[in-house]
Structure 1
Amino acid sequence: MAPLLEVSNLSTHIQLSRSTVRAVEDVSFHLEAGETLGLVGESGCGKSMTGLSLMGLLPPGGRLLDESSIRLDGRELVGLPDSELRKIRGNEIAMVFQDPMSSLDPTKTIGYQVAEPVRLHRGADKAQALERATEVLALVGLPRPKERLNDYPHHLSGGLRQRVMIAMALACEPKVLIADEPTTALDVTIQAQILTLLADLKDRLGMAMILITHDMGVVAGHADRINVMYAGRIAETTETGKLFSEMRHPYTQGLLASIPRLAQDNAQKLYTVPGLPPDLSDPPAGCRFAARCTYATDRCREEEPELVGSEEDHRFACWHPVDGPLDLTVPTVASAPSEDEAEADAQAEPATETDAEPEADPAAAPVATVTTRAQPEPASHPLLEVTDLAKEFPIASGLFRRSQLSLKAVSGVSLTLGPGQTFGLVGESGCGKTTLGRMIVGLEKPTSGTVTLEGREIASMRERELRRFRRDLQMMFQDPYSSLDPRMRVEAILREPLRIQGMGSGKEQLDRVTELLGEVGLPKSALERFPHEFSGGQRQRIGLARALTLNPKVIVADEPVSALDVSIRAQVLNLMKRLQAAHDLSYVVISHDLAVVKYLADRIGVMYLGKMVELGSGQDIYERPAHPYTAGLLEAIPVPEPEVERGKRGGGIKGELPSPVDPPSGCRFRTRCPFAQEQCAVEEPKMRVFGDGHVAACHFPLQAPVVDAKPSAPTAESAGTSGGEAAAAR
């Protein structure tokens, strides 16, 4: 039997005003009914453009070359008129787009948008279409679907909006579903729910699915076969288990090695793939990965390898194939990139032939560089101390907006941070992490509680005094694109803090920003460019340089790598650790990814709905979690091991975060906790000790508490108002 979807020699070119971008070149694959194909690779490698080409949704100037062929259930789609494609698009082949907020129409209700494809393709009337919309919204697990029909997209959380996008795609029961980065912007807990939902729906409806992602852990548990794409071409293709255990392409090997693991030794530097993907408007000759490959020879730079292999089900395009995963345990740098390249691995321009390494022995496998990082000694007096910090935002409600409710963003959180230390804050979106970070740097005034830096309280300072004091407290924002002024060049962006603080002459300021660019691995030429001219990883480096401008003592890094590819993520994490050692920085790192936080942090605090529910070292949190919420976060992290990921199906934390306007009584996690009992609803749990510096607030913990041990402060009475949290954090 012919495959359900057969793609042959797919080539997509996009004509720009002065050049042609070869976004996809000579891509071929097939897809059977009920099968899931993973497309993985860095941003700009052609994954999303492949999906858009299958849908016939090319950007202006985009076209498929004549040799391209896309056959769906035996019917050729290339060359069909738009009127025929519209009958197929959304009906037989559908797509879940990457960002649901920008893909959903903000002016139309959820019910209207989910019902629309049913009315267009099935000829249903309004009542029938809304009935089908209710049915499919229930199918994707939207709570109270009939009540949600009149809601607008902004009424829903990110996870619920993604479910609506999936419902729209499934409304006409398509044969093929393309899911483009369906979980990139979501918390690990919601991500796990969405991936499980997609897998269950695929099995129930008998669909074929293409899963596009840069996360190797996501495809490990949900794809039957994987195509690794690089610079618009397929670099390697095989079934999932074989790809992870017997990979042959160095790019595949590098992607897998770049992922921070929970078991990662945080004294060992993360492996990185140096450089950036090439400019597809002028791709290099030969192998497109050669400029970044430690095995590259002259042949690689002159001849392009074909997609071949000794086995029909495992093909790769490489002149010097590797043999399995990278060995990350041997502390040698014999054939790895040099230390300077590894640190300044994100040059503004893509790597070129002249940047390439000398010929390397293809049999010699590169290994990760191991560096020793001395653990900072506990300080007798903390550098930063947060005590019983709370923040409530008033909300007007009622007919005349006279009734006052409050959103309880942070409720009685305490922590301490010593010089040169890193404190990690983890939890889902909406748990109060960012609000806590903004209060630490003085961007938000606390409702109650104190923040002190070197014994001086911040909240009570006047604006002028706070502005001077803020030199020592800087923030690295989550989205560098929105936090960098698009109208200012990099030089002006980095000089601005120096100018406002009146530090140095014009020449001294220029010398300082030039020095900073070198420290974060960007060339001097970057000073004259605007933020939109950089990649996401480079913009994050600029954000870090700006935070370093005034030589601060503490940097609050809010989700510093959440939106980055795995290879760029490893580069930024290595850079943060190197700069910490060079400048004796203290970090507060905010993230929903425990693997990232464990790699960076000396101590970790787990937040849930404004409360700190567990505090401990990375080993405590990873190996001996006491709170069910912490264990659920750990279980939800995608692991690049197919056997482990497939064994998780259906596990993890259920449901969505309750509203912080009206949090549950007693333990705030009880509405999602599998161990909750009556006591949890009426009594707020107290912090209990589970080891040296390891405390958690739970009535029914996963570990036995230390008998007769109590947090040292006499006011340590609960997770929310505990002075003992501060003592434990020390």
Structure 2
Amino acid sequence: MLISHDINMVRRACDRVAVMQSGMVVESGSASDVFENPSHAYTKALIAAIPALNFTKRDGRLAETFEAGPSVPVYGDSPEKARPTAVACKGISHAFGAQPVLHDVDLDIHQGETYGLIGESGSGKSTLARIVTGLQVPNTGSVELFGRAVAPRVEKRSPSERRDVQMVFQSPDRTLNPRQRIGRILGRPLRRLTGLRRGEVRQRVGDLLASVRLAGTTIDQKPRSLSGGQRQRAAIARAFAGSPKFVVLDEPTSALDVSVQATVLNLLNDLQHDKDAAYLFISHDLKVVRYMADRIGVLYRGRLVETGSSEQIFRGPNHPYTTLLLSASSDETVAKAPAQLDLGTQTPEMSGCSFAGRCPVALPKCTRAQPPIRQSGNGHRIACWRDASNALD
């Protein structure tokens, strides 16, 4: 028996499926029948809430199952003008003991932009996020905020720097104090980050709850009395308490069902549109990344092997590792990843390309030297010995 929020994974792995709502099975049958010809309104709504690989925030909002809202307001393309760089990572490297995790990572994220970071577990995504927020100190390299270097440890950063960089974690159950009411959970960062007086805090907490579509009565509730989606929205409200300029979102919807996920993603886009904040969005779900991200970085064993706009990454040509990830996220019932690419294989660290041991198109020199970073279009970079313009399709 496989229980999961991941409908695409259930569709691929299961023979029969049962769909539950409010403790009742509302539809059941073969996986193909349930997902290709759903009959119950709840099943149809769940399927409609799943973002498609060709659907982005510029095409409209995701369908929300339970909450009313504008049906298809479109997020327009960003103006064709240079935006200031909100965060820049320069030469970030880190190791845990003798195990290297990040290798000389350079990336920049502009104001008002969502930068998607993808890669399999263990690639270094969360470590990079913790370094950016000051929760982890890198072995080498630096982090800049709006062109100014910040201290590697958050305790050494100024109050304004701590206010400007916030983080939403994967599981609100582990980051919201279960003994405190939501009003106090949100009130503490308001007092510390904004200097509001005690009498002003309650009004501002009410405004924060409204901004994430939570009822005013939530202020007196504890996290355990809220649903998973409500707890995550409370965590988002806490992150935005000090009006941050940059927010790290580390798998913010992985524990949510697709209908609640759609609500949270729409909310994040609304907040970004209102606040002009920059996001670093980390996720294993490429459909979610495709919907949210303006630009994307592909991280493999601590190295950025490909970077580019969302359109460039999903259109290709791609690094062979990116091809693997895209194939595994295909809309097809059976993934089309090449048989030669073993997702479970780990090769020892070598002087050459870290993906060479798994790559079906590797050249002899791939095992001997790090590949050059090749241009494959405006801002599209691929770290590969093969010519990105014709050899990686």
TM-aligned CA deviation for residue 560 of structure 1: 0.7
**Structure 1, 599-608 or 530-539: larger mean CA deviation:** 530-539
Unaligned runs of 5+ in 2: none
- 1:149 is aligned to none
Residue 228 of structure 1 is matched in structure 2 by 19
- Residue 369 of structure 2 corresponds to 683
Contact 1:690 1:705 in 2 (8 A): no
Pick closer, same or farther for the CA change 1:652–1:504 going to 2, 3 Å: farther
For 1:412 and 1:445, how far apart are their aligned partners in 2?
Answer: 14
Using the TM superposition, give the Cα deviation of residue 497 of structure 1 relative to its aligned residue in structure 2, in angstroms: 1.4
2:294–2:310: 8 Å Cα contact kept in structure 1? Answer: yes
| SS of corresponding position for 2:214 | coil
**How far, CA to CA, are the matches of 1:239 and 1:650 in structure 2?**
27
| Preserved contact between residue 688 and residue 705 of structure 1 (Cα < 8 Å) | no
**What is aligned with 1:524?**
216
Is contact 2:138–2:152 with CA below 8 Å preserved after alignment?
no
| Equivalent pair of 2:137/2:152 in contact (CA under 8 Å) | no
Q: TM-score, normalised by structure 2?
A: 0.92
Structure 1 residues not aligned, in runs of 5+: 1-177, 182-212, 276-336, 340-368, 396-405, 707-730
By how many angstroms is 1:576 displaced?
A: 0.4
1:488–1:656 CA distance, 2 compared to 1 (3 A): same
1:482-514 deviations in Å (ceiling 9; x for gaps): 111222221111111123336111121221111
Deviation of 1:547 after TM superposition, in Å, equals 0.5
Map of 1:391 onto structure 2: 94
Match of 2:110 in 1: 418
Contact 2:306 2:319 (8 Å CA) reproduced: yes
Matched, 1:664 2:356: no
Structure with higher Rg: it is: 1
Note the C-alpha offset of 1:653: 4.0
Number of the residue aligned with 1:535: 227
The one of 284, 288, 292 equivalent to 1:592 is 284
Q: Residue 375 in 1 paired to residue 46 in 2?
A: no
* Matched ranges for 1:461-500 at <5 A: 463-500=155-192
Normalised to the residue count of structure 1, the TM-score between the two structures is 0.51
Per-residue deviation, 1:379: 2.4
Tell me the secondary structure at the aligned position of residue 85 of structure 2.
Answer: coil
Query: Who is 2:39 aligned against?
Result: 248
Tell me the equivalent position of 2:64. 272
Change (3 A) 1:484 1:408: same
Q: Whole-Å Cα distance in 1 between the matches of residues 153 and 11 of structure 2?
A: 51
2:254 alignment partner in structure 1 = 562
Q: Offset of 1:701 from its aligned partner?
A: 5.9
Which residue, out of 203, 208, 217, partners 1:511? 203
Closer, same or farther in 2 for the Cα pair 1:652/1:457, shift >3 Å? farther
Looking at structure 1, the residues matched to 90 and 335 of structure 2 have their Cα atoms a distance apart, in angstroms, of: 41
Residue type at the aligned position of 1:370: V
Aligned equivalents of 1:624, 1:242: Cα separation in 2 = 33
CA contact (8 A) 1:667 1:685 kept: yes
Contact 1:217 1:638 survives alignment (8 Å): no
> In the alignment, what sits opposite 1:21?
none
Deviations 1:302-335 (A, max 9, x none): xxxxxxxxxxxxxxxxxxxxxxxxxxxxxxxxxx
> Could you say what secondary structure the match of 1:488 adopts?
coil
Correspondence for 1:646: 334
Q: What displacement does 1:647 show?
A: 6.2
The residue type equivalent to 1:550 in the other structure is G
CA distance in structure 2 between the aligned counterparts of 1:488 and 1:428, rounded to whole angstroms: 35
Matched residue type, 2:78: P
How far apart are 1:380 and its partner, in Å?
5.2
Contact (CA 8 Å) 2:18, 2:27: kept in 1 or not? yes
Residues 49-448 of structure 1 correspond to what in structure 2 (within 5 A)? 178=1, 180-181=2-3, 213-267=4-58, 268-274=60-66, 337-339=68-70, 369-377=71-79, 378-379=81-82, 381-393=84-96, 395=97, 406-448=98-140
Kindly state the Cα deviation for residue 254 of structure 1 after the two structures are TM-superposed: 0.4
1:494 is matched by which residue type in structure 2?
L
Contact 1:477 1:560 in 2 (8 A): yes
Deviation (angstroms), 1:229: 2.4
For CA contacts below 8 A with separation 6 or more, give which structure has more relative contact order: 2
Report how many residues are paired: 390
Report what 1:583 is aligned to. 275
